[in-house]
Chains A and B, each alone.
Chain A
């Protein structure tokens, strides 16, 4: 079956702009999680959506938001972009919520969207 897809793969924006990233999970998966990866901070959890509801959020400012649609596709929005927002943004899907799935709930990651803020 098709894997997790993310669009766009690359994006260049300027400070102050906003950006929307999209993630399509594996068919049948209801959970989509978003992560930010930078060289200095490693992989950091942003938030998870499950059945159109945000289940949890990491330590990121309110400029980072998201939503999930009835077909489980998810979007992440970053407003008022800052230079430090330049990163690889990854989404991952799983059948159950990552908070309750336990031992059998694997996450499958997409290739990521590389965002550069100038």
Chain B
């Protein structure tokens, strides 16, 4: 089973900030949180990752709660091109596996 829980779908108005939540209540102290997205008919694309500090890059921001049991991916100004399935992934060290969940299907509304 995936170690993360995400809502199956979300809507966001174009130009607004899209906030995608992820729960990872069993995350270990040395596990990272990674975010990928998959636009229809393309391979998954790396977005951002973090350990415990908030991170920001040219694509998004990642906010990780102090207890590290959940995180939020923020797309500051969503565009129609951000319509995709967003995957939140935690490295599962003890099983030596990378497990993807079903992700969140984000719909950007014009």
Contact = CB atoms under 8 A, between A and B. Distances in A.
Interface residues of B, number: 22
B100 A45 contact: yes
B44 A109 contact: yes
Instruction: Tell me what chain B mostly uses at the interface: helix, strand, loop, or mixed.
Output: loop
Contacts, number: 56
Nearest to A56: B96
B107 to A, nearest CB: 16
B60 interface: no
A40 to B, nearest CB: 9
Given A45-B100, A58-B99, A107-B46, 10 more contacts: A42-B87, A43-B44, A43-B100, A56-B96, A56-B97, A58-B97, A99-B96, A103-B32, A103-B49, A109-B43
10 contacts: A35-B44, A43-B38, A43-B103, A56-B96, A98-B91, A98-B98, A99-B98, A102-B32, A108-B46, A109-B43
